[in-house]
Each structure stands twice: as structure tokens, then as C-alpha cells.
Structure 1
Amino acid sequence: MHPLDNPAWNALTHLQRSVSFGNDLARRYEPAISPIAAVADSANPACWTALADVAGAGSLVGVFAIAKHAPPDGWSVDWRYSFAQMTCTKAAFKVPTHFISHSSMRALTLADGPAMVALATLAQPGPMEMRTVTLGRYLGIFDENDMLIAMAGERMRLDGATEVSGVCTHPDHRGKRYAQILSAAIAENILERGDTAFLHVRDGNAGAASVYEKLGFGVRAVFDIAAVKKC
């Protein structure tokens, strides 16, 4: 099995083990960092029993590459969608012809946590917590009032690959290519480290996929991601 077939598990059991907890069957990020959890094999009921202990009853967690008939009885599914996993190598990467470093773009820190959560709540790029920024490099663009209006960063990291995540723009500022500027900057840094850049786009979101395709990303696989909780 390729490591990216179960990226969260491979991140949580290796390079990001120190910011997670669990056991050899199930693990999750610290709640203040991310609600993402993972199991060694989502078709194995024993892994779900372990995840119930790790996540706790009533705690909503996101599970990547979830098997067709998972989760088993005793779990509820808040949502479940198919996502395209897209990857980009240094050889495939295409720097946008209009690429410039936006004058208000800067690295985000823990102090920006509330603003990041607020923007993610509005723009819905996926889960964002107060300490998600500690997972890797995050960049943000600010307006004239120093309000965060766009961001992107690194989330899951495993041997040889890093995920581009949290890409979003405030609805009032869309159409300004901020997503492409930030994604390009994050991806370029990942590729310069020698990693493959990867990301996840909800299947059918042609607009987002087009942004990434222009940067050299291509679809590697399509699988389900679900938000689940133990009843």
C-alpha cells in the first residue's frame, strides 16, 4: 500500500506522532490541533473499537480513506464525501506566470489562531483549530485593516510528502487569485525540501481543482473522507 493511501495514519504514526495520541490500531491529533483521526485499517472492527477509546463517545473526528462499509454499528456519520487526492512533484510544478509575493502576505503564528479559525468558519476549507498552525508553515494575506482574508498552509506530513491545506479566501475577496498565490508559495516550499506536495479536493469541485491543476497538481486517487462519532 502506498503511504498516501492512508495519509493521516502514516502522518500520525511517524513524523507527527508527537502531536497525537492513541495506539497501534487508532490515533488522533491533539484536539486543539485538529479533529483528524486515523485507523490502521478502516475495514477492521478492532480498529474502530480502538478509535472509540481514543476519540471518546460523542467526539466528532474525521477519518481519511474510509472503507466502503465503515464505520460499523455504534457509530454515526455526520458527513461523508468523495475527495480527489492531488499530488505535485518538483518536476511537475508550474510557477504562475503572474506570481508575485503579495505585499501583506506573511507567516502565520499561534497569535493568529483566532483569526484563522474565524476565516475557516466563514470560508469552510475544512477543519481549523487554534493550534493547527503548529503543524507546519502557514501563510496569510491581510486587508488594509489587518484582517486575515486568505490563507494556506501545511497540515499532514509523512515521510516524503506534505499536505497543502487550509486554502481559503474570505468571500468578499474572491477572484483575486489569492488561493493560487498562497498555494503556490506553500507548495514551492514543500517541493524545495524534497517532498511531494499533496492535497484533497472534494470530488466535483472543479473550480478548486482547476487552481491546483494550473500549479501542476494531478489526481492520484479518489477516496471517501467521513466525519464520524461514537454513539
Structure 2
Amino acid sequence: MLLKKLVFVLGIVLLSSCLMTKPAEAAEKEAIIINKSINQLAFYENGKLQKVFPVATGRTRNMTPEGKFTLVNKVKNRPWYKEGIPGGDPRNPLGARWLGINVPGDWGHTSGNVYGIHGTNQPSSIGTYASSGCIRMYNEDVIWLFDRADKNIPVYITSSSLSFTALAQNYGVGSAKAVAGYEFFNETLRYGSKGNSVAILQRKLNITDDGMFGPQTLKAVKKFQTSKGLVADGIVGPKTRKALFND
């Protein structure tokens, strides 16, 4: 009888331990990564890249802080206290959702009320350097993120030429395996271009992704443009990008 009781108690302890550690393990697999060099935000859930969104960041590089932070609050239709504009008002520059991050040294505030990821009433600013430090998103995108991102997950902000997969590996985020089709870029690319956007283009074209727009990439782009009835000029502008990512 005593042995049965000991086995029962041990089972309860082990079960409790599993239940206690599961949330921590889940948190390690969820993260937000923001790359200011291309103004994009990646959301990782269950260790996998779920979606990448275009964003707007600070007007100068030092306005949007870089480093590892934490998502500490979430607010629907947050008021714009500075101008007394209520939440949900079309004039409100914070848009539909606010996800606050705790940035040490932000005038003593670490509660997520100074720097945040939020919507906007200026959608034309997305993809540019336009904010006073926050990260702007389209309202429909920030609502999607708001509904999925849990509080206390890490938020990494950087300026890098690395892909999100490489950044996630560096940060130790989950399995760091990308979901095909969610990488994209906004800039126009041509022969001689370099960087992460070129690597994304090369992956879309199923060629070596060395980040250098050379003869092989030029040939592949022209072939793709011809197949889509586009002008085969080798320049990856808005029409070619649209065809690439709607393919």
C-alpha cells in the first residue's frame, strides 16, 4: 500500500512538473524579429516562421532602439494621449492595436508605454523610415499579430543583411525553419544589386541565394518575366514583384 502511494505521489509531481515547464518551452519558440534594414517584421510561432510583414521604423537609425526586448502589454484601440485623441478615432496615429515593448532607458519607463508595435492612420508610410521610434504596421496586419503574439515573448530589433532564418538561428528561436512563401521585399532590384532582398528573389526563382544580382539571376529574372508576359528587362520592379509573390 505504501509503495502504491509513493508511486501515485511521484506521478502527480512529474505531471505538475510537465505542466509547469510547458509554457516556458512554448515561449522559447515564439518571437518577433524586426529588421530595420529592410523594414520587415517576422513572427515565429511553435518554432516556425509564420508570417513576414512590412513595417515603418524610425526616421533616423537611432530612433528605433536595437536589441532584445520583451512584449509586455497589449492594448486594443489605445488612445493617443499626447493629443487627446480617443482609441478607434480615424485621427489616432496608433491605429487599431498596440503591442508595447519594454525598452530599458526610455526615460525610466519599462512598462511598454513608450515604444511599441502598433497600427497607423498613415498606411502610405509603411515600408519607409517615418516614425519617432515605434514600429508601425498596417491595421489589418497588427490585428493579426495582436491576436497571436503572447505577452512576455522576446522582441528582437536589428539592422542586418541576414535573412530571417539566419537571424532566428542566431537568436536561438525555435527550429528556425521558414514557411515557404512568406519572405518578400519592397525595393526595386536590378543587375548589380546586393543583399537580403536579392537572396529572397533568388529563392523565389529557385537559384543559388548568394545575395548577388549577377548573370545567373539576370537570366532567371528575364525567363520569369517572359513566362508571365512581362517586359523582359531584368529589372524587378512592382509588376515583377507582384507576379513573383502572387505566383
Q: Normalising by the residue count of structure 2, what TM-score does the alignment of the two structures yield?
A: 0.24
Higher strand share: 1
Q: Which has the higher contact order (CA 8 A, sep 6+)?
A: 1
Q: Which has the larger radius of gyration?
A: 2
Q: Normalising by the residue count of structure 1, what TM-score does the alignment of the two structures yield?
A: 0.25
